[in-house]
Amino acid sequence: MSSPVSHFEAIEVFDSINLGLIVVDPDLKIVLWNQWMARHSRITQEQALRNDFKGLLADQLSPGFLRALDNALRYGLPAVMSSALHRSPLPLFHQHENEDAPVRMYQSIIITPLTSAEGMHSCLIQVSDSSTSVKREKMLMSHSETLKRQVVTDSLTGIYNRRFFDDSYASALKQAKRQQSALSLFMIDIDFFKQYNDHYGHMAGDKALKAVANALGGQMMRSTDVFARYGGEEFIILIPGFSPEQAGLFAEKLRACVLALAIRHEKSLANHYMTISVGVDTCIPEPDFDGKLLLDRADAALYRAKQGGRNQVHASV
């Protein structure tokens, strides 16, 4: 005895598929509009069938989609439109979206020419929902950007770290050599910070480091200014375009902004409040200039500022 075989109408199959199916004839009349399309376009099958495709959707079709559709009907050229390049070519919406402010669904679309025996081109349009893929892509990109920031950011203060400074300094030095422009380097050290940590505790020390970092960072004015934590209680700043006189004035501003925080420091031999010492050097690097020399000179200037009593600025000579 033979087993019964179930027969389905083609439209039943089309309506059960979890993607949009549209077929348009050479005159752009709609001959297939499945239930998925009806749900997400809010246009019923009765409203869509035998209607003009462009007229039905008015001006809501993207230019890229219209070009691809024209190429399919006129020249028999297939097309694939990914959600990466064409986010929402058709006016399709998720059912749960607010009716007052609907948001278009992200879509991937395949346009396939259908050629009749007479050589006339109709086309099949397949539409799938790419919203989940796009959200995943955005999440991965956001995670990637977060990881990149973590690599070049100091975890305590939130400013750039030494790795970022080293890369930025190499780039800035090349540019200064090429343009024969000035670079100013500021080496900064919090005075008697070990004594502060020993007396007030490491939690207070961390809080003070953040406060100093914020104060110094607030002095940066241009996107080309580079400010980073160089180690422990040390910071470093690189600024292009300063004359030696301007660099000296700016270094004094840095010293003053930290003193103005009025962070009590009873164990400091320089002041009753937390202070910094600053060493600065400015140069116009020649093509064969060794970048380490600028770092060494700024560091030597910082050493002299500390040897001179701290809470002061010293420029290299």
Catalytic center residues: 233
Please give the Cα distance from 74 to 77 (Å, whole number).
8
Q: What is the DSSP string of 174-203?
A: HHHHHHT--EEEEEEEETTHHHHHHHH-HH
Burial of 29 (0-12, 13-18, 19+ CB in 10 A): middle
Please give the Cα distance from 103 to 84 (Å, whole number).
17
Q: CA angle, 48 as apex, 44 and 53 as ends, to 5°?
A: 140
Q: How large is the C-alpha radius of gyration of the chain? A: 34
Closest CA to 239 of 292, 293, 301, 169: 169
Please give the Cα distance from 75 to 84 (Å, whole number).
25
Using CA atoms, how far residue 142 sits from 6, 11, 88, 210, 312, in Å, is 50, 42, 21, 26, 43
Mode of pairing for the β-strands spanning 183-190 and 107-115 = unpaired
